[in-house]
Structure 1
Amino acid sequence: MNTGGPSADTAAPVLRRHRRGRMVAAGLVAAVVALFLAGVLLGSYLVSLPDFFRLLAGAQIPGASFIVMENRLPRAVVGIMTGIAFGLAGSIFQTMLRNPLASPDIIGISYGASAGAVAAMVLFGAAGFAVSAAAMAGALLVALLIYVLSHRHAGPSNAASSRLILTGIGCAAILQALVSYLLTRADVRTAQAALVWLNGSLNSSNWDRAAVLAACLLVLLPAAAALSRSLRGLEMGDDAAAGLGVTVAPARLGLVTVAVLLAAAATAAAGPVAFVAFLSAPIARRLLRGRASLAVSALVGAVIVLAADFAAATVLPQFLTNGTALPVGVVTGALGAPFLLWLLVSANRVGRGG
């Protein structure tokens, strides 16, 4: 009796999926490296690749040293880490709640960060690191509020997920109104600074912000990896996850905590860069033909932020703003809004049986 046939038939698709996953990841890593180098080397002041490596080795090149080491390089590093954090946060929420709308920038967490930052700027005159700290505190407080309100009455997992999303959308609307009110009470200079921050920008990136964000990722990335097995179980539903040995409530709380901290850290570093968390996981799924992957989602997030920032800082200013760099969130918002509309229209058609 030959038992090799079914095993081979089962193993072949798995091997193809793994091979495709490795190829996609390698392609995304190459894209991240290419965009990183483009952001550092290209612009109004061109830097050659040999000069870049000389600068990394400690050489001093008049003009290039400051432009690269104090401006472009920290900007690119913060951009990569911001994209990774947003991509992971969005993937965790969307996979765990089984809903493409379950993204930090849709369910209110980014709005919590925005409200905290704007309140600090308008009411207390905060700037720099104090604004980032207020943004992180605002995101954490709003996430806690959303979690508590959506879990007051336990019910089926699908209902709990929908309740969390709806609660988050409601909180986002309230916080958006609060931000608008605060801006009307601010002086012109403070309101202008707040609006730049609200669009999401890498213009103020520096090595201090990069160090803080790197420290956060050093803690949160291993935590996300440790919880990835539980996430795969929760993607199939709470009952299936429990059958696979996942302790549902602690795993869900841990995943929510990690995702919120990732989104809060990224928002504190670069502001609420629109739609990066929202777009990363769906693009990763499309590249992997339907499978979810935290690593690929993180790489997609990095690609989105680096590509959008290169367009905002280098390409578009030549045509639109007479050399003034745009906030990166302007470009990501222009990319994400059509996708959100398409998603809503598609969901409406499915709901009608179309």
Structure 2
Amino acid sequence: MTTAPRSRRTGAALAALIALVFAAAAARVLLGTPVVPIDKALAVLMGQQVPGISFIVMDSRLPATVVAILAGTALGLSGTIFQTLLRNPLASPDVIGVTLGASTGAVVAMTVFGATGPALFWAALLGGLATAALILLVAGAGRPGAGAAGAAGAVDNRFVLVGIGVGAALSSLISYLLTRIPTQSAGDVMHWLIGSLSSATWERAAVLALALGVLVPVLAVLVAQLRILQLGDDMATGLGLSVARTRVGLIAVGVALCALTVAVTGPLSFVAFLAGPLARMIAGRPSFPLAAALGAAIVLLADVVGQNAFSGTALPAGVITGALGAPFLLWMLTRTPTSRQGR
């Protein structure tokens, strides 16, 4: 497919996804118990006080809707960074252990230090960064010869395999910590670990909005360098690109997007994993705008389904995304060798 038709296809898909996000946002605000009439919801959004409805819309459903959109956007971008950088569709933060690293940092902060609020965000961020650094170290990204084309591919694959192993160890650590705290606290942590928007507030939405406001412009600058990096480390070095600095910058942005989202919503399983490959299928190449829109749509639709599809029971969004992601992961494993991604 030539560049012009591909661009038109990507633009049309992006417009359709944005429309889907708006429709899902309206459904998330209006549907539920009780159902909010459209005219009353619009009145509240225009600043009027409608008894009962104002609280439901402005303090409950709308913050959850905004957090869902922001969290999905961040996870879609984070997953695409790792998948494109490592040339592997399995290299999303929730598969390679970065999400579990952020979760472990937050769980340690909650269970050992009783942290809440900003301290929880910093703990998740440090946990994610430490996990990414450990995986890079063990995978041998800094070994001599890692910049060669074949060696770079080997490092990329080792990164995924080492990440899965580190993630398993972190999962065991979380399980151990849960046995060492009171039952009520363990229940709260377990609910958070599922991934939920039930505790969404305007303050948490502001944290995610600020993170995206800072990190997206940085990512926009790095994306051009990422395209050069995809040519291979030796070629990129020959073109004057600082390969190590670019890799570190991209990984830091990807980890920050993932970790801050985990701190706000808990680990929303497979959102980062789903968005990138789906965007690539639509666009024919990695597409950060499509991945961001797909991530927002996935989280928002998962929350709408979880809140309304099961009579009398509200399921966290993380349960729905996990149910979607697991079969998609199996399909990806059987569809194509991982080494072909990005080539």
How far the C-alpha of 1:130 sits from its partner, in A, is: 4.0
Instruction: Say whether the 8 Å CA contact 2:89–2:338 is kept in structure 1.
Output: no
Provide the residue aligned with 2:243 in structure 1. 248
Letter in 2 for 1:98: R
How far the C-alpha of 1:54 sits from its partner, in A, is: 2.1
How far the C-alpha of 1:125 sits from its partner, in A, is: 3.2
1:191 aligns with 2:186: yes
Provide the residue aligned with 2:267 in structure 1. 272
Instruction: Say whether the 8 Å CA contact 2:125–2:255 is kept in structure 1.
Output: no
How far the C-alpha of 1:129 sits from its partner, in A, is: 4.7
Q: Distance in 2 between matches of 1:210 and 1:349?
A: 35
Q: Distance in 2 between matches of 1:225 and 1:77?
A: 22
Letter in 2 for 1:191: A
Provide the residue aligned with 2:168 in structure 1. 173
Q: 1:52 aligns with which of 41, 52, 74?
A: 41
What SS does the corresponding residue of 1:227 show, helix, strand or coil? helix
Letter in 2 for 1:307: L
1:29 aligns with 2:23: no
Q: Distance in 2 between matches of 1:158 and 1:39?
A: 43
How far the C-alpha of 1:337 sits from its partner, in A, is: 0.5
Q: Distance in 2 between matches of 1:350 and 1:245?
A: 26
How far the C-alpha of 1:117 sits from its partner, in A, is: 1.9
Over the matched positions of the two proteins, sequence identity in percent amounts to 49
CA 1:174–1:240: 2 relative to 1, 3 Å = same
Q: Distance in 2 between matches of 1:170 and 1:75?
A: 33
How far the C-alpha of 1:53 sits from its partner, in A, is: 2.7
Q: 1:163 aligns with which of 140, 158, 161?
A: 158
1:100 aligns with 2:95: no
Q: 2:143 aligns with which of 153, 166, 176?
A: 153
CA 1:350–1:307: 2 relative to 1, 3 Å = same
Q: 2:73 aligns with which of 75, 78, 84?
A: 84
Q: Distance in 2 between matches of 1:145 and 1:342?
A: 29
- Larger radius of gyration, structure 1 or 2? 1
How far the C-alpha of 1:347 sits from its partner, in A, is: 4.5
Q: Distance in 1 between matches of 2:337 and 2:157?
A: 16
How far the C-alpha of 1:63 sits from its partner, in A, is: 0.7
Provide the residue aligned with 1:344 in structure 2. 333
Aligned residues: 334
Provide the residue aligned with 2:208 in structure 1. 213
Letter in 2 for 1:332: T
Deviation string, structure 1 residues 57-104 (Cα, Å, up to 9, x no partner): 221001111111001001000000000000000001101110011110
Q: 1:335 aligns with which of 324, 327, 338?
A: 324
Q: Distance in 2 between matches of 1:170 and 1:94?
A: 18
Q: Which has the higher contact order (CA 8 A, sep 6+)?
A: 2
Deviation string, structure 1 residues 243-265 (Cα, Å, up to 9, x no partner): 55433221111111111111111
Q: Distance in 2 between matches of 1:252 and 1:134?
A: 23
How far the C-alpha of 1:349 sits from its partner, in A, is: 11
What SS does the corresponding residue of 1:81 show, helix, strand or coil? helix
How far the C-alpha of 1:43 sits from its partner, in A, is: 1.2
Letter in 2 for 1:99: N
Letter in 1 for 2:6: R
CA 1:133–1:45: 2 relative to 1, 3 Å = farther
Q: Distance in 1 between matches of 2:276 and 2:83?
A: 8
Name which of structure 1's ranges 143-152 and 303-312 shifts more when overlaid on structure 2.
143-152
RMSD: 2.0
Provide the residue aligned with 1:294 in structure 2. 288
Deviation string, structure 1 residues 17-55 (Cα, Å, up to 9, x no partner): 111111011001101111111101111122233322321
Unaligned 5+ segments in structure 1 are 1-11
1:182 aligns with 2:171: no
Alignment of 1:89-128 (within 5 A): 89-128=78-117
Letter in 1 for 2:209: A
Name which of structure 1's ranges 43-52 and 193-202 shifts more when overlaid on structure 2.
43-52
Q: Distance in 2 between matches of 1:132 and 1:331?
A: 24
Provide the residue aligned with 2:133 in structure 1. 144
Name which of structure 1's ranges 235-244 and 67-76 shifts more when overlaid on structure 2.
235-244
Q: Distance in 2 between matches of 1:132 and 1:238?
A: 34
CA 1:247–1:132: 2 relative to 1, 3 Å = closer
Provide the residue aligned with 1:310 in structure 2. 304
Instruction: Say whether the 8 Å CA contact 1:121–1:190 is kept in structure 2.
Output: no
Q: Distance in 1 between matches of 2:306 and 2:227?
A: 36
What SS does the corresponding residue of 2:313 show, helix, strand or coil? coil
Unaligned 5+ segments in structure 2 are none
TM-score by length of 1: 0.89
Q: Distance in 1 between matches of 2:12 and 2:38?
A: 27
How far the C-alpha of 1:285 sits from its partner, in A, is: 1.0
Instruction: Say whether the 8 Å CA contact 1:87–1:297 is kept in structure 2.
Output: yes
